Chains A and B, each alone.
Chain A
Amino acid sequence: MLKYTFRRLLGMIPMLILISIVVFSLAKLMPGDSLSGEIDPLNTNPQYIAEMREKLGYNDPLPVQYFNWVTDFVQGDFGKSTRFKVPVADVIMEKIPNTLFLGVMALLITYILAFIMGMYSGRKPYTIGDNAIAGINYVMLAIPSFVAAVFAIYFFSFHLNWFPFGGSVDILVEDGTFEYWLSRLHHVLLPAIVLGAMSTASYTQFLRNDIIENSRKDFVRTARAKGTPMKKIYNVHILRNSIIPLVTFLGFDFAALIGGAIITETIFTYPGIGQLFLDSVTNKDYPILMALTMLLSFLTLAGNLIADILYGIVDPRIRLD
């Protein structure tokens, strides 16, 4: 398996080079540069702007610019944010904990809800309960997250006052105290529920269909012939087989965990990667944009690799070598 992992990691290199070219080209294709957004051309000497462009290397031929960027990038120098005037890595690292926290909470909610619903539906297919679950799931899937987020804020924050409107923590609490962590949890809960509860459909329906399919398999009859109770057959024999296809989703989730939920984070003004991404687009902060896009691409590839390795672990029939 180590050999397999190593081979796959090597295989990522050409993929990442290709992605970097695309990311760089897209950034350059966008109209304007970081100077055209930030600086008021009316009170700044145009000659100074031109000098800065020359100094920052914006006038170099594109291949040279690309080469410079890539050379720095592989050495861990992601450049300086044109907006915050600090290294890109620092900006991203500051936001990652928030995003990770939200992502993990949302995923946890999705998994728990989807497992409960999927297992119920799979055990009792074509019943009222199953149909109700499918109905709820598809309605949730159909509602865009920004609509759900706005409504959630309106009801739970404005009217019921259960949750804060936005942010990641109360400004007044002291860093590191128990109240601080409690406040963070309080802030993350509503966006996490919106994100988590809205995306249960694929997991639930996948799990349901797989449980139904597996419950007709011969090994279920064998287990019954051994005197194994139905409950154990569903929870052990069938479930163990039915989680195998779900591993595919896990790979995608891995990238989403860090990638953040761009729209949800923005609506909840939750200071995470998603919000940073959108802000960087409006402020033409290319170093951050390019670094984030590269990071997400790498994580997607890594997520797929993790999913493939997990297949080998959950399914003894798949051998990685």
Chain B
Amino acid sequence: MTVKYSSDKTAPLLQVKNLQTGFKIDGEFYNAVEGVSFDVNRKKIVGIVGESGCGKSVMSLSIMQLLPPGIGKIRGGEIEFEGENISKLSDKKMNKLRGKDISMIFQEPMTSLNPVFTIGYQIEEVILNHENITKKEARLRSVSLLKSVGIPRADKIVNEYPHQLSGGMRQRVMIAMAIACQPKLLIADEPTTALDVTVQAQILELLKGIQETNDMSIILITHDLGVVAEICDEVIVMYAGKIAERASVDELFNHPKHPYTDLLMKAIPKMDEDVEKLATIDGLVPSIINMPQVGCRFANRCPKAMPECLTVTPQLGAVARDHETACLLYEESWPEGNKPQNEGATVL
């Protein structure tokens, strides 16, 4: 008899193991996500942060298997959802999962809805995809879903078209669609980036509220550390397709270990300081075509880089309780058998 993790409520809901996702450029595959592993526990919100082009979205699309067909491809590793590897499931089997157990909301609420169908039709579709109920019942459910995401006049809006709603309202509709079948995991790919600040706060509050009532887990992808601090339980900092640091929210904000995380935090503008110029990190994320294969990928932008950073590839190592980082400043990140020769090399 095989032991199914799904019966075990303490086991992680989602386990990503050594995920590698590649993109085809000029007939050759380049990895946009390189050996990423992490767990998402039940009823937790995991934030994934990093600047544009660091592989956050690609990773989330890999979990859903929504990579652009023919161009993006999972090239290695496993994605286990409730103990079952879903990285190699057929499209037909994935369709049973998508929208029901795992659902997703996207960055662009303006274009994510189909312009020629009513809001009601688009919410009903996900319900009818997964549940054996009549259209009438589905319509009633859509109305109550719209109410639950805070849309006024839900019984009217249900018959309206996306262009009649504002961006914030459309994102609420997207959320209503995503939670229609009470999924166990919601992947939110920069859900507030395209919205203005006041609406951002409302949407985050809404997500947090739904997460609590539905006992759902959320992967929140963002480049806004403020958002992370507000609602996440755990944070993963990604850089150039790899995890740079992973920790609980309090731990990360109080004791950032990786220089990249440190610089990200310093780049947050502070209300109580009057500065002429905002702090930035010099340089750009290397493009996936000329990614350094050995050494730390952040080395050329890192103010604390050492000669070893270009030759030794750091690994994620536990530097504190519930805190891992991949930086050669910490002995725990050095690969096995390649430990620093003398302690003095580590200058902090």
Contacts and interface: CB of A to CB of B under 8 A. Distances in A.
A229 interface: yes
B116 A226 contact: no
B114 A316 contact: no
With most chain A CB atoms within 10 A of its CB, the pick from B95, B96, B103, B161 is: B95
Interface string A47-68: 0000000000000000000000
Contact of B115 (A219, A223, A228): A219
A229 B95 contact: yes
Given A219-B115, A241-B115, A316-B115, A226 B174 contact: no
A28 interface: no
B125 A226 contact: yes
A227 interface: yes
Given A227-B130, A229-B92, A317-B161, A241 B114 contact: yes
A314 to B, nearest CB: 7
Q: Is the interface of A mostly helix, strand, loop or mixed?
A: helix
B111 A226 contact: no
Nearest to A221: B66
A8 interface: no
Given A222-B174, A240-B116, A317-B161, A228 B129 contact: yes
B125 A223 contact: yes
A316 B100 contact: no
A315 interface: yes
B99 A237 contact: no
Interface in A280-321: 314-317
A225 B161 contact: no
Contacts of A225: 64, 66, 98-99, 103-104, 106, 178
A218 interface: yes
Interface in B111-145: 111-117, 125-126, 129-130
A7 interface: no
Contacts of A222: 106, 112-114, 174, 177
Interface in A212-244: 217-219, 221-230, 237, 240-241, 244
B126 to A, nearest CB: 4
A194 B18 CA distance: 60
Nearest to A225: B104
Interface residues of B toward A: which range? 20 to 34
Contacts of A226: 98-99, 103, 125-126, 129, 177
Interface in B149-179: 161, 163, 174, 177-178
A217 to B, nearest CB: 7
Contacts of B177: 222, 226
Contacts of A237: 114, 117
B105 to A, nearest CB: 8
Contacts of B106: 218, 221-222, 225
A314 B116 contact: yes
Contacts of A229: 91-92, 95
B215 interface: no
A291 B92 CA distance: 60
A227 B114 contact: no
B305 interface: no
Contacts of B114: 219, 222-223, 237, 240-241
B97 interface: yes
B39 interface: no
Contacts of A217: 111
B80 interface: no
B331 interface: no
Interface in A87-142: none
Contacts of A315: 115-116
Interface string A240-270: 1100100000000000000000000000000
B313 to A, nearest CB: 34
A285 B96 CA distance: 70
With most chain A CB atoms within 10 A of its CB, the pick from B91, B92, B112 is: B112
Contact of B116 (A218, A221, A316): A316
Nearest to B114: A219
B115 A227 contact: no
A5 to B, nearest CB: 22
A160 B163 CA distance: 57
A317 B125 contact: no
With most chain B CB atoms within 10 A of its CB, the pick from A217, A219, A227, A228 is: A227
A228 B129 CA distance: 7
A225 B187 CA distance: 10
Nearest to B61: A221
Given A225-B104, A227-B126, A218 B99 contact: no
B233 interface: no
B28 to A, nearest CB: 19
B116 A227 contact: no
A217 B99 CA distance: 19
Contacts of A230: 91
Contacts of B163: 316-317
A72 B192 CA distance: 68
B108 interface: yes
A125 B103 CA distance: 29
A106 B159 CA distance: 38
Interface of A: 217-219, 221-230, 237, 240-241, 244, 314-317
Interface of B: 64, 66, 91-92, 94-100, 103-104, 106, 108, 111-117, 125-126, 129-130, 161, 163, 174, 177-178
18 contacts: A218-B111, A219-B113, A219-B115, A221-B66, A221-B112, A224-B64, A227-B97, A227-B100, A227-B129, A227-B130, A228-B95, A228-B125, A229-B91, A237-B117, A240-B117, A241-B115, A316-B115, A316-B116
Q: Which 4 A-B pairs have the closest CB atoms?
A: A227-B99, A226-B99, A226-B126, A227-B98
Given A227-B97, A227-B100, 20 more contacts: A218-B106, A221-B66, A221-B112, A222-B113, A225-B64, A225-B106, A225-B178, A226-B126, A226-B129, A227-B95, A227-B96, A227-B99, A227-B129, A228-B125, A228-B129, A229-B91, A229-B92, A315-B115, A317-B115, A317-B161
